[in-house]
Amino acid sequence: MKWLCVLAAAIAAAMLLVAPRPATAQAPLTESPITPGFWSFPARGTTAAKDVAAACADHFQIRFAEGRFMGLKAYRGGKNVLGRGLDEVGRCTFDRDAQTDRCDVKLIHPDGSILGGTLQMRYTFDADKTLKVNVTPKMITDSPVGNVPFDAFPVRCPDDTLWGILNDAGGPAR
C-alpha cells in the first residue's frame, strides 16, 4: 500500500511539471512606449532593417517629448518626383490606469480638407516581445466607415535612416 502512495505522489509531481502554465502577465506600462523621436506604424510586425526603412520612407511621425506629433507621408508628384506632405498633427496623453494613449488628431488630406477626432491606442507585446498597438479611431465624420479599429506594429525609425530618407526626398522616385 505504501508503494501505491509513493507512485501516486510521483505521478502527481510529474503532472505538475508538464502541465501548461499560465502566461505571465505583462508588467504595466508606466509611460507610453512611443517615446520622442521618429516612428512608423506598419500593418505588420517587422524587425528587418530594410523593412523598417521602407515603412519609415512611406510614412513617419515625429514625436515630441510632451506628446505632440506630426506625420509626414510620401507622395509622387509630377514627372515622378518624390515629395513629402504633412498628413497629420496631434497630441497623445498616456493613461496609466487604462494602459492607453488617447490622441487628439487632425488628419490633413491632399485636397487641404481636415478631419478631426481621437485615437485610442492600446499597447501589447506579442510572444517575441514585438510591440503591437490596437488603434480605435473616433473621427468626427458623417460616415463611421473610417472608424474601424485596426492593429499596427510601431517601429522606431533610426536617425541615420531617416536622415537618408529626408536627404533624398527631392530626387526621382524609385
pLDDT score, position 80: 66
In angstroms, the CA 87 to CA 106 distance is 8
Task: Give the tens place of pLDDT for each residue, 120-137.
Answer: 999 998 888 889 999 999
For the chain, give the DSSP string.
-HHHHHHHHHHHHHHHHHSPPPPPPPPPPSS-S--SEEEE--SS----HHHHHHHHHHEEEEE-TTSEEEEEEEEE-GGGBEEEEEEEEEEEEEETTTTEEEEEEEEE-TTS-EEEEEEEEEEEE-TT--EEEEEEEEE--S-GGGG--EEE--EEPPHHHHHHHHHTTTSB--
pLDDT score, position 83: 80
Query: 113 or 13: which carries more pLDDT confidence?
Result: 113
pTM of the model: 0.77
Query: 129 or 157: which carries more pLDDT confidence?
Result: 157
- Judge whether residue 7 has pLDDT over 90: no
Instruction: Domains for the chain: give ranges and CATH numbers.
Output: 37-167 (2.40.128)
Which pLDDT band holds residue 97 (cuts at 50, 70, 90)? very high
